Chains A and B, each alone.
Chain A
């Protein structure tokens, strides 16, 4: 009799989701699906609002990476006003985005994922969390928490608050970097660098122990998408879109992010609120692509900063062509923290960040505006259509987690196939399946727009839809 196993909700991710594992007659895994069961509705209820309010509204989608929505939204506003923003404003937005990269990646690595691979997959769930990490390695946990704080402080120094700053606006930003802020960031940088190097060394050590995870945690061919500079350097705010395939070949380059609908299609699944974007010319399933740290490093030819480039070359050696294992998202995340810190350091010597010329002014010059920015989890698109008065008529948000949807399904199926045999699913196996999702650091509240709870429910459902077994956790 075929069966279905449901993991609901998935824990230590941002948001609420469940996983279904389908077993065939012989108890082998036939398929697996990752469902997002939240619905937020931002695209709908923003209709009718002035576009200038969107950088205030859309960051409310998420408390983890509000900055990404803030910046993408402000950029969409720039496009509607058809202005080039003052250079200082562009640099300041970039600085905030780098702070965001550091804090979000530190959260993903130290708080959410490290307990699995540092404490061990088979550690009891009561200890396999950030508190367990604090007990096992207090210095590392504290350093990780402080690294996240550093990123948050940058956001606060610029935007006045850590979460939901309404600082970037259509046309630029509201305020410059103060001298006091500059000094605080400068003073904290050495510690942030040290923590990042420690984490990198540690991760490379545990990588040897986790060869199996590297092999089976989402290791499959797919396309990769991310922003790059004209010369192929890693980019996070600005630049053009590049797609590469799993052999590492560039299949499309310097695509205009504003014309995303010419190369990205959105498939809708009946079992999830999350849409599944794909590379349009190849269709589903061949057009499946991944975004986020792993993808950005795969599409980039260099990081553009010396320390990160050294790590980048080691990273590139881990794949033939592209690095295809989603477990290495973690490594890519650390390298991105490193380049972010180097870039932040460079900005600290730039007097332009104290400029008072920060905001371009204009009316409605284009009835459509698309804003693109690399969020920690991947490329984020905000697409607004307005009327002559600047009131929104249509809003389309293409969020990083959505773009990884097809890849997350495949990752879950790959891990389940490897570990699940029949009805028995021990807890550590459930955790491995969940970790397959955690690699992507998905933000479900972002991608569907609700709050999650932590307990986990696994259901075995037979072909007739009867629950034959239920395991509750938490």
Chain B
């Protein structure tokens, strides 16, 4: 595979042809904030946290879905990027009901830790306070739509790692929601194998082990990577 050379944050690096900017940056030890990206499943560019500046292109591009090109000059950190990333986070917080203090994922939440690391100290937008419910019908797991950011990690792991195809998205825009099978209570799903990959994949407290109390949802993402590596590379290591 041909290698491409490019510059990220002033650092000369090379990356495989077909690699994404995110892959190239990660290999070079440069961290780009991500939220909908999950190692082991394909990327969808949904959250816009990984936006980067590419010289010669006016609009910001998502690092997770943009492929590297020869001679690309990329900036992963600038005042403009920080501003957009904070705005994206504020919009996510304003859209649904995120109450960190009493959340099952408090302290182990990717949305929360990004808000800390990107310096989101307040939300400029009016909170929408939508009325979303909790699906607690499953014997093992629960889904709280109030805490869902629609990253679709759960949908991707359900379809492409487990192959069950239980999780899906219905609706449009901010009215979208994660559904099970034909938009029915999760506990009545015929397809769900109760594998728990969706719960492992969730970045917030939206999917949780039933009975979890504040801060108890700690997730081990490497298990997902382990399965993918085992399947694709026939290597049983994480």
User: Do A and B share a complex?
Assistant: yes
B102 touches A60 (CB 8 A): yes
With an 8 A cutoff between CB atoms, is A389 at the interface?
yes
A315 to B133, CA, bound (A): 53
* Residues on the A chain within 8 Å of B187, using CB: 389
A166 touches B213 (CB 8 A): yes
Tell me the nearest residue of chain B to A168, going by C-beta. B213
Distance in angstroms from B40 CB to nearest chain A CB is: 29
8 Å CB contacts to A: which residues of B186-216? Answer: 187, 210-216
With an 8 A cutoff between CB atoms, is B1 at the interface?
no
- Known pairs A53-B104, A60-B101, A60-B102; A166 contacts B134 (CB<8 A): no
Distance in angstroms from B112 CB to nearest chain A CB is: 15
Tell me the nearest residue of chain B to A73, going by C-beta. B213
- Known pairs A53-B102, A56-B102, A60-B101; A48 contacts B214 (CB<8 A): no
* Residues on the B chain within 8 Å of A171, using CB: 211
A48 touches B133 (CB 8 A): yes
Distance in angstroms from A212 CB to nearest chain B CB is: 46
A164 to B134, CA, bound (A): 24
- Known pairs A53-B102, A60-B102; A166 contacts B136 (CB<8 A): no
* Residues on the B chain within 8 Å of A49, using CB: 134
- Known pairs A56-B102, A57-B102, A60-B102; A389 contacts B213 (CB<8 A): no
* Residues on the B chain within 8 Å of A166, using CB: 213-215
* Residues on the B chain within 8 Å of A389, using CB: 136-137, 187
* Contact size range, A: 10 to 19
* Residues on the A chain within 8 Å of B214, using CB: 53, 55-56, 166
A361 to B211, CA, bound (A): 9
Distance in angstroms from A136 CB to nearest chain B CB is: 39
B137 touches A53 (CB 8 A): no
B213 touches A53 (CB 8 A): yes
Distance in angstroms from A423 CB to nearest chain B CB is: 47
Tell me the nearest residue of chain A to B185, going by C-beta. A389
* Residues on the B chain within 8 Å of A218, using CB: none
With an 8 A cutoff between CB atoms, is B62 at the interface?
no
* Residues on the B chain within 8 Å of A55, using CB: 213-214
8 Å CB contacts to B: which residues of A44-62? Answer: 48-50, 52-53, 55-57, 60
B136 touches A391 (CB 8 A): yes
* Residues on the B chain within 8 Å of A170, using CB: 211, 213
A171 to B213, CA, bound (A): 11
Given contacts A171-B211, A361-B211, 6 further A-B contacts (CB under 8 A): A50-B142, A53-B104, A53-B214, A56-B102, A164-B101, A166-B215
